[in-house]
């Protein structure tokens, strides 16, 4: 249940962000990252609809290469 | 240099491991990656990877499931729960309803969901109904539940909170059976929220090797390599290594921790199969009591608690599996009476349950 996946932020409206990963689009809350500067294009780790950590593009990419291998 | 799984395996195989080394994990996601990638078969025989209390749904007390069932069946409540809670069985006479999924099949209003935000949307869609969000989970999941409440929820949404902190269960295991474990792989996404430093007690108080791991074979094998190195150095040198640095910092997500603290207090809590652990669960703070299903339905909760339901089903070894005392296939019911299709204990139901994970990966020989 603690599964969390990297997604890319596409649009931001207040605490709500439209995020994408692998062609799937989801509404994600940025409430737990308030105070952290986040702009469209950034990558976040998402758990149950909430971003819990910002990560670099490179980290997100390598995470996905590995997730593709195990999921 | 980024080392890959095969590099870590090579390094691990170069160790001379003079005696058995038991490495505990406390995260269903870790157990799934370990099992599905077949890591156990790749490691030297002396190294054991032991699944522990890593499944929040499995340790959710039967009284909470019974309360959720009673609310959905008898109180006209619209009950929402994370999907993997629905099939978790309770002890019930044959013919009686044993899970939320069975209650749903008989017409109870029960909705599986994947995010706390869906609970808010559900309450808005049904403004004239009492909606109860039955929320089990570890810190990773509780932070979003706290965020949901902190942001404000509709008046008709209440939370039946069954959240747990992971570290007190590890502390209990190390207190009561310290010699059973030589190392800990700490949960990556719990540490993303709470910080790697939360695990310092493992090395400082118990002199047990520890590494925070992510969910890929690379990260898990890096953690195995790290704890072996800590353990086998002369003299042993134990600390908390961070093998998931892309997500985990020393202090974690401070905003999430503030949010948890603002909305919840930490209380003594019952763990199914383990017992009451001090300061190991969450309760809503008084400012949020209008949304606390345990207060709104206090009478029902008292009645169910007084009926003193059992813990694990008779013959089921889920308790020992959660305590790292038995592997799933050492349970007499595993693969016989208990399969994911006909689960007896909670560990055979959840995607995070060790028995379900072992069975799904094809380890059918009991």
Averaged pLDDT for residues B36-45: 94
**Shortest CA gap A39–chain B (Å):** 18
In the structure encoding, which two tokens stand for residue B324, read together?
């790292």
Q: Is the pLDDT of residue B366 over 50?
A: no
CB contact under 8 A, B247 and A2: no
Write down the pLDDT at residue A12. Answer: 97
Q: How many structural domains comprise chain A? A: 1
The answer, for B62 touching chain A at a CB cutoff of 8 Å, is no
Peptide bond into B235 cis (omega under 30): yes
Find chain A residues with C-beta within 8 A of B2's C-beta. Answer: 62
Beta carbons within 10 angstroms of residue B248's beta carbon:
26
Write down the pLDDT at residue B18. Answer: 86
- Using a 10 angstrom Cβ sphere, with 0-12 exposed, 13-18 middle and 19 or more buried, the burial of residue B362 is exposed
Under 8 Å CB-to-CB from A29, ≥6 apart: which residues?
A15, A16, A17, A49, A50, A51, B117, B144, B147, B151
pLDDT in tens, B267-312: 999 999 999 999 999 999 999 999 999 999 999 999 998 886 678 8
Under 8 Å CB-to-CB from A47, ≥6 apart: which residues?
A2, A3, A4, B140, B141, B144, B189
Q: Tell me phi and psi for residue B273, to 5 degrees.
A: 85, -15
**Shortest CA gap A44–chain B (Å):** 9
The answer, for A38 touching chain B at a CB cutoff of 8 Å, is no
- What is the C-alpha separation between B142 and B126, in angstroms, rounded? 24
Q: What kind and span of H or E run contains B358?
A: helix B354-360
Averaged pLDDT for residues B24-48: 95
CATH number of residue A38's parent domain: 2.30.30.140
Q: Are A53 and B247 in contact (CB under 8 A)?
A: yes
Write down the pLDDT at residue B142. Answer: 98
Of A48, A52, A67, the CB nearest to B115: A48
The answer, for B103 touching chain A at a CB cutoff of 8 Å, is no
In the structure encoding, which two tokens stand for residue B120, read together?
């808010």
Q: Is the pLDDT of residue A1 over 90?
A: no
CB contact under 8 A, A48 and B114: yes
In the structure encoding, which two tokens stand for residue B17, read together?
């491991």
pLDDT in tens, A20-50: 998 899 999 999 999 899 999 999 999 999 9
- What is the C-alpha separation between B252 and A52, in angstroms, rounded? 10
Q: How far apart are the first and last CA of chain A?
A: 15
**Shortest CA gap A61–chain B (Å):** 11
Between A and B, how many residue pairs show a Cβ–Cβ distance under 8 A? Answer: 114
Q: Is the pLDDT of residue B111 over 80?
A: yes
CB contact under 8 A, B140 and A2: yes
Write down the pLDDT at residue A70. Answer: 54
The answer, for B166 touching chain A at a CB cutoff of 8 Å, is no
Q: Give A21-69 as a 3 state SS string.
A: ECCEEEEEECHHHCCCCCCCCCEEEEECCEEEEEECHHHHHHHHHHHHH
Find chain A residues with C-beta within 8 A of B82's C-beta. Answer: 1, 48
Say which residue the tokens 């190195």 belong to: B229
Q: How far apart are the first and last CA of chain B?
A: 42
Of B84, B150, B189, the CB nearest to A47: B189
Q: Are B134 and B81 in contact (CB under 8 A)?
A: yes
Domain assignment of residue A26, given as a range: 5-70
In chain B, count H helices and then E strands: 17, 11
Under 8 Å CB-to-CB from B281, ≥6 apart: which residues?
B162, B163, B164, B165, B266, B267, B268, B269, B270
Q: Is the pLDDT of residue B250 over 50?
A: yes
- What is the C-alpha separation between A6 and B341, in angstroms, rounded? 32
């Amino acid at each position: 249940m603690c599964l969390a996946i990297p997604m890319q932020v596409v649009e931001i409206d207040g605490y709500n962000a439209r995020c994408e990963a692998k062609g799937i689009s989801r509404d994600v809350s940025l409430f737990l990252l308030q105070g952290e500067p986040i702009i469209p294009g950034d990558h976040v780790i998402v758990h149950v609809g909430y971003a819990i950590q910002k990560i670099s593009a490179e980290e997100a990419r390598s995470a996905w290469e590995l997730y593709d291998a195990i999921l | 240099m980024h080392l890959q799984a095969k590099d870590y395996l090579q390094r691990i195989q170069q160790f001379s491991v003079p005696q058995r080394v038991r490495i505990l994990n406390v995260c269903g996601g870790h157990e799934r990656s370990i099992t599905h990638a077949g890591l156990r078969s790749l490691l030297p025989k002396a190294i054991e990877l032991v699944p522990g209390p890593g499944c929040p749904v499995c340790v959710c007390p039967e009284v909470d499931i019974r309360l959720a069932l009673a609310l959905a069946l008898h109180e006209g409540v619209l009950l929402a729960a994370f999907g993997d809670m629905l099939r978790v069985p309770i002890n019930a006479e044959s013919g009686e309803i044993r899970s939320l999924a069975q209650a749903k099949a008989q017409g109870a209003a029960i909705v599986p969901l994947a995010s706390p935000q869906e609970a808010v949307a559900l309450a808005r869609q049904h403004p004239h109904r009492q909606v109860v969000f039955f929320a089990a989970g570890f810190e990773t999941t509780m932070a979003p539940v706290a965020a949901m409440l902190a942001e404000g929820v509709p008046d008709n949404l209440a939370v039946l909170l069954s959240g747990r902190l992971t570290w007190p269960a590890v502390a209990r295991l190390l207190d009561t059976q310290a010699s059973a474990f030589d190392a800990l792989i700490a949960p990556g996404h719990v540490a993303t929220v709470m910080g790697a430093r939360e695990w310092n007690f493992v090395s400082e108080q118990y002199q047990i090797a520890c590494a925070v791991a992510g969910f890929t074979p690379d990260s898990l094998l890096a953690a195995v390599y790290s704890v072996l190195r800590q353990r086998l150095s002369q003299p042993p040198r134990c600390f908390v290594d961070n093998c998931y640095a892309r997500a985990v910092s020393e202090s974690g997500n401070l905003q999430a921790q503030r949010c948890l603290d603002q909305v919840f207090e930490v209380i003594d809590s019952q763990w199914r199969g383990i017992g009451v652990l001090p300061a190991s669960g969450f309760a809503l703070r008084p400012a949020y009591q209008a949304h606390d299903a345990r207060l709104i339905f206090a009478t029902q909760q008292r009645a169910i608690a007084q009926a003193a339901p059992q813990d694990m089903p008779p013959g089921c070894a889920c308790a020992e599996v959660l305590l790292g005392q038995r592997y799933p296939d050492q349970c007499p019911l595993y693969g016989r009476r208990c399969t994911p299709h006909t689960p007896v204990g909670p560990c055979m139901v959840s995607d995070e349950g060790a028995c379900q994970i072992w069975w799904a990966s094809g380890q059918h020989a009991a």
